[in-house]
Amino acid sequence: RKQGIRGTLVDALLGTARVELHRGNFEDAQPMLDEALAVATQALDEKRIAECLWASGEIQRGLGEVSEAGGFYRQALERFTKLDVPLG
């Protein structure tokens, strides 16, 4: 049950961060995403960790940090691949 509550918290933080990301408010999205990643990591929730890493890549891309974005995308893809999560 604890992981369920953590998962819900990660989903809420990640969802709010994505809203800010789509609004172009990258600096506002980052703290929420950092917290979501920390909670997902504590819960050992690989899928949510991958989702947070992907969103971190989106933020870095939006900030013009293409190389850093690529690193986040690669980390996310590695996790998605291990989990056999379909992409696209």
Tens of pLDDT, residue by residue over 9-35, are 999 999 999 999 999 999 999 999 999
pTM of the model: 0.88
Cβ atoms of 83 and 67 closer than 8 Å: no
Other C-beta atoms within 10 Å of 70: how many?
13
42-63 pLDDT tens trace? 999 999 999 999 999 999 999 9
Q: Which residue has the tokens 């690989």?
A: 46
